[in-house]
Amino acid sequence: MALIDSYGRRINYLRLSVTDRCNLRCSYCMPADGIAKLAHGEMLSYEELLRVAAESVALGIEKIRITGGEPLVRKGLIGFIERLAAIPALRELVLTTNGLLLGEMALPLRRAGVGRLNISLDSLKPEVFAGITRGGDLRRVIDGIAAAEDAGFPPAKINMVVMRGVNDDELLDFAALTLRRPYTVRFIEYMPTVGGQGASALCVTGNEILERIGRRYPLLPLVSSEMAGPSRNFKISGAAGAIGIITPISGHFCDSCNRIRVSAAGLVRGCLFADGGIDLRQYLDAGDDGGLRETLRRIVTGKPGRHRLADEEAGRGSIPMSQIGG
């Protein structure tokens, strides 16, 4: 069955957040302090997450991404993934991580049924990485990427959030990672979700990123698959890997958006920046799978044509991505 929204987009991708907790505190994702964590009982149980996943797949979702917060910090994750992977019509099960715990978890994740990993990595300089993540150890992420390869994962997609004056001097170094290794390095426009004065000045547009890389390396456009989502992909001529540009701010994003999201607290949203979302807990508590399915369908039908983050930035407070499952 195909899930089509009112703008004719085929919705086949669910981002499922399993926790709002994290072992890092990236400056673009969370404020330095003062962020309320969900109490344990407020988080959906694995049983509840499985019901949401199963109903979504029954409706037409084909790809699920496990995210957070940092998904690898939630206890019992491997058993949950095994059960998720067993949903018959689910075509793709993937996970986004900051990579810190991959050293020990890459192999169990692979064996449990995760098909591919996206790994966030915003600097190749230890001190800059520690600054962005407020204390993270770059070595562990690099080792985590190696552990993922050893565990048999396909080449990682590496996500870099580009911030002017913070890490944009590393664009060419990240692009060069794809020369000899088959990674896909995806440059993501910084979204001013945490706010603070001058936040939007940090954004480097996708076009500028492409132009700066293209001046050094000729880029060939690649065709994206239907499941790929809103990344525009390129290849440096002769490179082993690929380069992706994700432009939530400057465009080319909403038109091809194929996703819905469920937060760790059970709020389903048709758009990252939709206010509120609908609480699925009432249906989960009542054992009302029909209501659950109808609500998921309603979220698809009501999915906005585009987000208004850039227009509304001035009036918005902080929206930590760790809470909505970035």
Give 194 or 245: the residue with its C-beta nearer to ligand SF4: 194
Q: Residue 235: phi, psi to the nearest 5? A: -140, 135
Kindly state the smallest distance separating residue 118's Cβ from ligand SAM, in Å. Answer: 6
Give 159 or 295: the residue with its C-beta nearer to ligand SF4: 159
Segment interacting with ligand SAM (CB under 6 A) among 96-104, 140-148, 150-158, 253-261 = 96-104
Kindly state the smallest distance separating residue 119's Cβ from ligand SAM, in Å. Answer: 7
Kindly state the smallest distance separating residue 286's Cβ from ligand SAM, in Å. Answer: 30
Amino acid at site 10: R
Give 81 or 191: the residue with its C-beta nearer to ligand SF4: 191
Residue 187 contacts residue 171 (beta carbons within 8 Å):
yes
| Binding status of residue 99 toward ligand SF4 by CB under 6 A | no
Rounded Cα–Cα distance for residues 5 and 257 (Å): 10
Give 154 or 196: the residue with its C-beta nearer to ligand SAM: 196
Would the CA dihedral through 259, 262, 302, 250 be positive or negative?
A: negative
Rounded Cα–Cα distance for residues 226 and 259 (Å): 12
Neighbouring CB atoms inside 10 A of 307's CB total 18
Beta bridge partners of 231: 246
Q: CB within 8 A of 182, min separation 6: which ones?
A: 155, 240, 241
Kindly state the smallest distance separating residue 96's Cβ from ligand SAM, in Å. Answer: 4
| Binding status of residue 321 toward ligand SAM by CB under 6 A | yes
| Binding status of residue 55 toward ligand SAM by CB under 6 A | no
Binder of ligand SAM out of 12, 19, 28, 209 (CB under 6 A): 28
Kindly state the smallest distance separating residue 218's Cβ from ligand SAM, in Å. Answer: 27
Rounded Cα–Cα distance for residues 307 and 288 (Å): 31
Neighbouring CB atoms inside 10 A of 269's CB total 22
Residue 319 contacts residue 267 (beta carbons within 8 Å):
no
Beta bridge partners of 14: 64, 260
Give 20 or 55: the residue with its C-beta nearer to ligand SAM: 20
| Binding status of residue 188 toward ligand SAM by CB under 6 A | yes
Give 56 or 98: the residue with its C-beta nearer to ligand SF4: 98
Q: In the 8-state DSSP scheme, what is residue 240? A: S
Would the CA dihedral through 129, 149, 263, 244 be positive or negative?
A: positive
| Binding status of residue 67 toward ligand SAM by CB under 6 A | yes
Binder of ligand SAM out of 53, 93, 161, 243 (CB under 6 A): 161
| Binding status of residue 18 toward ligand SF4 by CB under 6 A | no
Residue 58 contacts residue 64 (beta carbons within 8 Å):
no
Residue 14 contacts residue 262 (beta carbons within 8 Å):
yes
| Binding status of residue 190 toward ligand SAM by CB under 6 A | yes
Give 15 or 25: the residue with its C-beta nearer to ligand SF4: 25
Instruction: Tell me which of ligand SF4, ligand SAM, none is bound by residue 25, counting a contact when its beta carbon lies within the kind-specific cut-off of 5 to 8 angstroms.
Output: ligand SF4
Residues near ligand SF4, by CB under 6 A = 22, 24-26, 29-30, 68-70, 98, 120, 321-322
